[in-house]
Every structure is written in C-alpha cells, then in structure tokens.
Structure 1
C-alpha cells in the first residue's frame, strides 16, 4: 500500500484552449438566445430554466462526425428531458428538502456513471446535474410537469438543428479536424526525436530497436491516442456516394501518413514533421485535401512491401492487385477504370465488438471501476446538501452541484477540480456582485449578459476549469433568477456557503470512498494488451514481410493455410488464406484480406494501449491503493508499441500507395 500526496502546483496553470471551443460556444449562444428572446417577447421569462434544459444540449457531441452526431444528440436530449421530468415530479410531490437532496444526489450519481460509460465528452455530466438539481428545488404543481418538460423537449429539438446546421457549410469538418489532430500529434513525435538529437532507425530497422528519447515517450502516447481517435471518427463516417468515398479515402491516406510515425522515424524527421503540420493546417482551413502522392524515395522504400502484395509501384502510380503494369491515378486519387463508389478499399472497424447502448451497458457491469465513482458522487452530494441545509441554506442545490462537479477519475484530479471550482465560483460571485447594477436595468440586459457569460465560459474553461467557472457562476445564477428572484445579499451568501461546503464535503468523501478498482482496471488492460499483441504477432508471422532496404530485398515467412488455421485457433473469422502452396507470394485478394485483418489487429492493439495508459494515469492519481506493477506495465507498453510499430509499417506501405 502507498500514500500519494495531493499536488498543489499546476492546479491554476493556464493551458492552450481547445481547438474547436468556438463551435459549442456559438451553438450554445444560438440555442439559448433564441428561446430566451421569444420568452422575453411573451413576458414569460419564468420559463427560462425549462427552455435552457433543452438548449444546453447544444454543447454536446461537437467532436463527432455529423452522421454520428445526429444519432447521439437525441440521446442527450432524452436524458436531459427524463432527468428534468424526474426532478419536477419530485418537486411537485415531495415537501422535505432533505429527501429532495437525496433524490438529486442519486440522479447526479447516475449522470456521472452513464456519461463516463458513454464517453460523451465535454461538458459531461455537469450540465445534466446542474439543470436537474436546480429543478428539484423549483416550486412545481403536478399539472405543470408535462408542459414544462415539453418545453425542454422542444428546445432540445431546436438545439439538434443548431448543432447539425454547420453540416450545410462544412459537411466533413469534424473528421477533417480529427485527422488534423493526428497529423499534428505525429509531427510532434517526429520533432521530439529530432530535438533529442537521437539517430532515427536506419533502413528497415524497427523503431523499438533504437533507444527512445525521454521526450518522445509522451509524444508517442499522444500520437497513438490521436491516431486511434481519428480512426474511430472515420469509422463513423458513412461512404455511400462517390464523393463521400473519395473524401474519406483521402482522409484515410493522410491518417496513414500520421500513423506511420508510430512505425519508424525517417531520416528527415524535421522535414516530415513540417509536411505533416502543413497538411493539418490545410485540413483545418477547409482547403481541398492535400496531394500526398509518393515521391521517388518513398516509392523505393515501399517497393519491397509492394512486391509482397503482388503489385508494381512507381512514383505517381497506384497499387493494383495481380501484378502487371500499374495504372495512373485519376485526379480524385483512385485508379483509372475503378469505380469510385467501391468502398472496399476503406478501412472498417473490427466486427463483433459491442457498440452504442450495448457498449455503455457493458462498461457499467458489476465490478466496473465506474461504480465506486458513482458511490462517491451519491454520498458526497447527499452530505454536502445536508450540511448546507444545516448552516441555513434553504435551497442547497448549488452544494449538490458543486460536490458532483469535483468528482473526476481519481482523487488527485478531484482535489484539483475542488480547488479550481472553489476559486472560480468565488471569483464568479464577485463578478456577479459587481454587475448587479447592470442586471437591474432590465431583462434584456440579463439575457445579453447570460449569453456573454456562456460564450466566455466555453472560451476559457478549456484553458483551466477555474477560469471558466468565473463565467459559469454568474450565468448559472442568472438562469435560476429569471423565475424566482432572491435578494442579492441572500443569494450571494447562500451560494458562497454552498460552494465552500460542497467542495469541502465532496473532497472529504472522495478521500474516504477510495476507488480500489482502479488497479483492477490496470490488470484487465494488461490482459487486453497481451491478447491484442499476440493476435497481431500471429498476423505478422503469417503476412507479408517488411522491406529490408531496396526493392526485392526482403524476407517473408508465409505459413500454409493449415498452419495459420491452427495458429488462429477454432472459431477465428478469417476471410481467405494468405499464402499458397507453402509460402508463395499472396495474390491480390489474399493480400487485401490480410490487410483488412491487420487493420483490425492494429485497431485492437492501439485501443488496448490507449486504455492501458489511461488506466495507469487514473490509478496513479488514487491516494491509497496497492502499489502499481510498474515493471509489468513498462514491459507491456514497450512490447505493445513495438508490435504496433511493425504492424503499422506493414500496413502503411501499401495503404500509402493505394
């Protein structure tokens, strides 16, 4: 067992803002502003809380491609409306504030676990919990519950339209941004090698055979995570038309270039990094997809692998199965005479894995590390609400929200969030106090300021949570004050007490309710890395060998179909043998089958490595637990990244030339 001290430094340090902060910011302003102005015209600003419930859903899912966003946002809206309905029903039937605190806390725990299991991304459970906890303490009659939830549902539908509207202008913006992030991360990895002055692998040497510079370790993990996230984003993009196939194929080609940084460092690492960074800027600017045709040197470097796939390869030419003369690419990047609507050349996610609702339910199974987090939220919010009531706060929803907001993946992050939340809320209360004379000028001024705070919160919260909280606090107070204004002195005093109580009690509960399952998550992640690595190694032994320098100089160890079947084990779903007659060159169809399965193996191994790194970072932040298996983790990551590097090199060569 070990005790981990809680850090103090870097808690208030500012970071670079998220690259797409303006997207949820503008969507939130539009989705909130239009209903607010309509209510102002109708003289019913007392309904702002209910319209805000649906409008706040516009802050979600901005990292997803539009097809996936269209499917995800309705679930967010339904979750918000269902939470609001539960809260309003309880408010109309329950008179005990202590019981309402318990109900709000249990709902907050559900929000936390489901959002983490769904990996919905920012703003996570916080918006759902804020709206629901506020609604628990709003005076309500049973007959009003249905029309008020109907308002939330209507504004949620409007929020869906607002979030989907950019698709009319840049229909492929999200996947382009995901690919650009992968290119930028790969460029950072190459620069880390170049800045360290380390000699990159020469010829056909694998990167794991060269000592990695210390500064490149973090960059390698970041690149693996960014590439993995980009592949998952592309897998969500449908390819049903010629234009869609061509656009996605171009992004896949760029992503293969980013992924190739994991497979080896070129001799001109700095130049390659500059090239990747330039492509990323072109993607973000909305320009046509960059031309990534092979140079003479690149064609020579990849010629060995191209031969293994039974193709001819020259600069400016595309791979073609079955040998023979290569056909030049058309302007769209495909082979002459090839149908552009043929999606067979696109990578596909591995079949049979749970996705959507099944994946969320699977992450909440008994023994899940999310369950202790839910217990922390429930216990901490209940105690925070009760203590807030004990010190004289009549509507302790803010204490419940404060306690719920500080619970992160581990104790260390929760401590940092508690400090940031307290600092930001107190500064936000000071800002709210300073602006009271402006609020008193009229409802229009209140709406304008609330929208300005919403914009400022999204602009600053990614730099540091405390900075964003400075804007979130007055905006949240304004949303709840439209319907039932309180005296300024009482309001500020209650929120100050709620903030301190919620942060202090929540942090104490976080320390007392330890997440012992965080270490168990590492054990499962290590098993996943070992299984994925073994599967990838079998494919590498069966498939084409990497080039050893020049065209024709290569080694290959192709097993027979019977040997591969034995290695794969019973029940393995393989679409065709890779070799013929004990090691002959694979034909084009078999080479494509190997590449497809190798792509799935790459996806599984990269995902397992990302999961292992995340599990280690989460467990490392728990203050009291058994010692982590550091040597075993390091060995698994080293071997896993070595196998991934070899697999990437085998996959990248033909994919780059396709």
Structure 2
C-alpha cells in the first residue's frame, strides 16, 4: 500500500514575521570578529583625517571602508582579488556620482544604471550582503556629497585608500591561518551533516537535509570553486578535500537510508561530528582523495546565465531599475534635499530578490529602525562629537551594526541610520538637526513605499508558475545524470557537469518553493500543497547524486548493482526515462500520473514517493 507523502513530509516551519519578527532575535553565527574588523576599517581613515586636519577627507575615505563588509568566508587568495575589485568599484561609483553632480539631469539616470548593473552582477555572481545596495549608495551619495571643492578624482582616490586599508585588514589573518576559511567551511559542513543524520526520520529531516546540502556546497566552493585552477594545491587543501569527500559519503548514506525508511546507524552522526574537529587540523594529503567534482560555474558563465530570458536576475534587475527611477523622479518633484536617500531605500528593499512576505518585512524593519534611529542620530548630532570622540562613535556604531544585522535587521537599522547621518554631516555642525532628521525619515518612507509598490506591480500573477517548471527541470537534470550512471561514466568531466546542474536544479526548486510560500495568501496555499512533491523531488535528486558519490566506495558494492540494473537486456534505463516522462506530464498538466514501470531497486522507492505526491496544485 502506498503511503501518503503528505503525512510523512511536513513543510518547514515559517520564519517569524510581522510584529513578532521586529522584536525577535534570529539564530545566527557569532559575528564579533566581523564587527571588529568593520569598526577598525571605518575608524582608521577617520582617525588619519583628524590627525592631518582633514576630517572631511577622512569621512570620504570611510566610504571605501565598506569593502570590509564583503568577502568573509572566501579563501584568502580568491578574497584578495575579490576585495580589490570591490574597492575599485566603490572608488569608481563615488567619483562617477560626484562627476554628474553638476549636471542634474544626469544624476538620477546614472544612479539607476549603477543600481541595475550592480544588482545584476551581484545576483548572478551570488555576492553576499550587503550586495548591490552599497554600490548604489556610494554612487548616490557622491551626487550629494558635502565635500565642497573636492575633485571627483581626489574623492575616488580617498575612497580607494579606505578600500585598500580594508583589504589589508581582511588579509592579515592569512599570515597566521592561511587555510582558515577552508577549515571553517568544512567544519560547518560536518556539523550540518551530523545534525541531518540526527534528525533522519523525524519531522525536521527535510529542512536539515537542505541545510546540510547547502553547507556541503559552500564547503566545496571554498575547496574547489574559489581555488586557483592551475598551480600546486598543497597537502592541507588535499586533506580538507578528503574530509569533504567523507562528508559527502555520510550525507549520501543518510539520504539513502532515510528514503527507504531504514534505521540509520547512530555512528554516522558521530563520524560527521568527529570530522568537524578533524577539519581544524586536517591530516595532510599529497594527492586528492578520489575524483574531484567541479566547483560552481565560473563568473563569466554565471553572468551569461543571469541574462537568460525569464531568469530571476532579470526580474530583480527590472524591479530595482524601475523603483530607483521612480524614487529619483519623485524626490525631484518633491524637491527633496537629499534625494539619494529615497533611491537608496528603494534599492535596499528590492536588490536581494526576496519574496513578497520577506520584502514586506524588510520594508517594515527598515522603516521602524530608521524612525527609532533618528532619535539616536539626533542625540549624536546635537552633541557633535569631534576628533577621537567622532572616531569612537563611528567605530562603535559600525561594530554594533555588524553583530546585530543577521539577528534583527530592525535593530541594526537603528544604528545604520545613526552612522549614515553622522558620516553625511561631513564632520560639520548641523544647524537644523530636526529638519535633517525629518528629511531622512520622509525620504526613507517614500523609498520604501515605492519599492513595495513596484514589487507588487512587477510580480507574476501565476500561482505557482515556477514550482512545476523547477520540478520538471529537476527531473530532466536527474535523467541526464542517470544516463552517465548507466554508462558507468559518473566520474567523467561531462558527468561532473551534469551532477553540478542537478545540484543547481535542486537549489532552484527550493528557491521556487520559498518564493511562492512567501507570496500572497492564495499563492502561499497553492505552494504548500506542492510541498510533498518538492520534498520528494529533492530526495530523489539527492539519492541519484549520492549514488555517484558512493560508486567506487570499498565498503559498498554499488558498482555491480548499478551495472546489472542498466545492462543492455534489462531495460532499466528506458524504464527510468519512461517513469520520469510520466511524472513530468502529470506535473505540467496537474493530473494524476499513470502507473510507473518497474524500476531499478535503488531508485524505485524515491520515484514512487514522488508519484504518490502528485498531482501538484493547479497552476
């Protein structure tokens, strides 16, 4: 008798939202080292400016200190190139903004172009927070910077100097722990796999599985994607790759046991937890452990993918461009003194490409944090700190921002508002503090309102359009990997490309579900009906990927079983493709799938579970 997957697989619990989210703290890793680094990078240029009698120049250089907010977790060699580009981009955007300041008709179009270009690049390349927002902010700030008489070229050099200092601070730990980021990524993946193994068979299994997959992917990016293509890799890196391979095998073992309802050996979780400690001081290896699957697509390939018609990046860039343009025009018509605040607020709400509920939440958090922050900013501006006191205020504010931003954005926005107004004052006494605060609040409110309106207008009305498409894309990618399994070529370069595509399809499927479940109520209800199919498709994909990892493992005889199932006289491969075709037809039509043909044992249960989860909600 077929079991009902709806009873066996519950959707992950929603994150706190609404008023409750404004006053709750999310679970997040400790960020005090990041906060300390950001504080030093923001304070040092300001300190130099004060010591040389050029406080305004020091405040300008702090714009380059935003470089410190990027690149955490990347291996140091990759981070060096990455941060250098970030620093150059900040210098360019500030200089560009100052250059068009004297030509008012060009100011808004320039900001819009920078916002769209930065959003596209950051989205396609998966640049983490604060993403495109800071590039838009620095360009917009350049159009209204109070540094009278400062040439754009000089401003760009000052910003570049601040970015160069941030680069140095970022790179100093490489002298003491050259493989620190890679070790941290592998240890985090080991802890995630251990947590997944402990939850196998429970209600939290699916969420833990997805978190473990993401952590393994992040670790592999640190070990492969962000490593130089040519040159000696070193014994430490090869040792970490060996640990990562063991984690993939443990992950695969957990998946296959859970998919069949078997009892998982408790030692699996203990092994994964032990590998987290081993990763801190990995055993050296002179050669890689087994085959090395490919890392994520390179930057040029990712940028080309982002240009595909109908991609998520395309929609996000369109929203950002329209919102920035409308906010700039509205600010001009309303004769707002600092129009760039409205533009920056609009970009902030939209550039991350979140779903409706999280976008609405981010807008509320920004507004509440801004209006409360105006009280603190007013106190700071009224006191008018100078010299070392100004340096201390900026450093403390920047530190608090970084340690709170992942836990409660509304709280962080209080301090973001304060430090922004402190820097915007240019170190000068503000005569009309109340007017400045009111302008900031009004501009931010206008920008947030425009962003939410643009999101609502530029959101596809289909209930769950992306979920069926993502489900069929996952099955297509899974079928390609099965072809390589059948041909005993699962570890060739072409197979690695196919495996990477399947992994990406699984992540895209999860993102499609998250977006739909965060949408309006009708879309959310439809998406929740699709959850059993989404969960089953993810498990099927991970099971196929786990087969690839387990091939050649000495203690598991999978090679003979797979070869026998896909022999020329068995019809196993044709049966798999026939089954996948039946499932895709049912997904696209919203109908009940036909009975499936007899499948190889190692795929039969997962495929049957997906069939039992259909049909998906109407679309």
Bin the TM-score by the shorter chain: 0.7 to 0.9
Q: In the alignment, is residue 432 of structure 1 matched against residue 377 of structure 2?
A: yes
Q: In the alignment, is residue 498 of structure 1 matched against residue 505 of structure 2?
A: no
Residues 139, 35 of structure 1: CA spacing in aligned structure 2 closer, same or farther, 3 A cutoff? Answer: closer
CA RMSD of aligned residues (A): 3.3
Q: Which runs of 5+ in 2 are unaligned?
A: 1-15, 557-619
C-alpha displacement of 1:24: 3.0
Q: In the alignment, is residue 79 of structure 1 matched against residue 24 of structure 2?
A: no
Q: Is the 8 A contact 1:27 1:163 kept in 2?
A: yes
In the alignment, which of 227, 248, 266 is matched to residue 216 of structure 2? 227
Residues 650, 356 of structure 1: CA spacing in aligned structure 2 closer, same or farther, 3 A cutoff? Answer: closer
Question: Where does residue 397 of structure 1 map in the other structure?
Answer: 340
Q: Is the 8 A contact 1:48 1:482 kept in 2?
A: no
Question: Where does residue 301 of structure 2 map in the other structure?
Answer: 358
Q: Is the 8 A contact 2:27 2:407 kept in 1?
A: yes
Q: Distance in 1 between matches of 2:429 and 2:307?
A: 40
Q: Distance in 2 between matches of 1:610 and 1:441?
A: 48
Q: In the alignment, is residue 452 of structure 1 matched against residue 396 of structure 2?
A: yes
Question: Where does residue 535 of structure 1 map in the other structure?
Answer: 480
Decide which moves more: 140-149 or 372-381.
140-149
Q: Distance in 2 between matches of 1:632 and 1:496?
A: 41
Residues 519, 67 of structure 1: CA spacing in aligned structure 2 closer, same or farther, 3 A cutoff? Answer: farther
C-alpha displacement of 1:457: 0.5
Q: In the alignment, is residue 604 of structure 1 matched against residue 471 of structure 2?
A: no
Question: Where does residue 579 of structure 2 map in the other structure?
Answer: none
C-alpha displacement of 1:366: 3.9
Q: Distance in 2 between matches of 1:163 and 1:262?
A: 38
Residues 68, 527 of structure 1: CA spacing in aligned structure 2 closer, same or farther, 3 A cutoff? Answer: farther
Residues 78, 88 of structure 1: CA spacing in aligned structure 2 closer, same or farther, 3 A cutoff? Answer: same
Q: Secondary structure at the match of 2:100?
A: helix
Q: Distance in 2 between matches of 1:657 and 1:245?
A: 22
Q: In the alignment, is residue 277 of structure 1 matched against residue 277 of structure 2?
A: no
Q: Secondary structure at the match of 1:435?
A: helix
C-alpha displacement of 1:393: 3.0
Q: Distance in 1 between matches of 2:190 and 2:345?
A: 38
Q: In the alignment, is residue 36 of structure 1 matched against residue 29 of structure 2?
A: no
Q: Distance in 1 between matches of 2:237 and 2:18?
A: 49
TM-score of the aligned structures, taking structure 2 as reference length: 0.76
In the alignment, which of 546, 556, 565 is matched to residue 648 of structure 1? 546
1:325-474 superposed matches below 5 A: 332=283, 340=286, 342-343=287-288, 345-349=290-294, 354-391=297-334, 393-407=336-350, 408-437=353-382, 439-474=383-418
CA-to-partner distance for each residue in 1:132-171, whole Å, 9 max, x for gaps? 2111112578981112112222322222222122111222
C-alpha displacement of 1:247: 4.0
Q: In the alignment, is residue 638 of structure 1 matched against residue 536 of structure 2?
A: yes
1:173-322 superposed matches below 5 A: 173-193=180-200, 198=201, 213-235=202-224, 236-238=226-228, 240-265=233-258, 267=263, 270=266, 272-280=268-276, 283=279, 286=280, 288-289=281-282
Q: Distance in 2 between matches of 1:516 and 1:483?
A: 48
CA-to-partner distance for each residue in 1:392-442, whole Å, 9 max, x for gaps? 5311221111111111423222111100000111121112223345x4242
Q: Distance in 2 between matches of 1:596 and 1:493?
A: 60
TM-score of the aligned structures, taking structure 1 as reference length: 0.72
Q: Is the 8 A contact 2:491 2:548 kept in 1?
A: no
Q: Distance in 1 between matches of 2:533 and 2:422?
A: 53
Question: Where does residue 74 of structure 2 map in the other structure?
Answer: 64
Q: Secondary structure at the match of 2:151?
A: helix
Q: In the alignment, is residue 52 of structure 1 matched against residue 62 of structure 2?
A: yes
Q: Distance in 1 between matches of 2:91 and 2:466?
A: 33
Q: Distance in 2 between matches of 1:520 and 1:73?
A: 38
Q: Secondary structure at the match of 2:63?
A: helix
C-alpha displacement of 1:49: 4.3
Question: Where does residue 550 of structure 1 map in the other structure?
Answer: none
Q: What is the aligned length?
A: 530
Q: Is the 8 A contact 1:111 1:129 kept in 2?
A: yes
Q: Which runs of 5+ in 1 are unaligned?
A: 1-5, 199-212, 290-331, 335-339, 544-573, 575-592
Q: Is the 8 A contact 1:533 1:640 kept in 2?
A: no
Give 1 or 2 for the bigger CA radius of gyration: 1
Q: Secondary structure at the match of 1:43?
A: coil
Q: Distance in 2 between matches of 1:255 and 1:58?
A: 32
Q: Is the 8 A contact 2:122 2:131 kept in 1?
A: yes
Q: Is the 8 A contact 1:539 1:598 kept in 2?
A: yes
Q: Which protein, 1 or 2, shows the higher relative CO under an 8 Å CA cutoff with sep ≥ 6?
A: 1
Q: Is the 8 A contact 1:88 1:136 kept in 2?
A: yes
Q: Is the 8 A contact 2:183 2:240 kept in 1?
A: no
Q: Distance in 1 between matches of 2:110 and 2:336?
A: 18
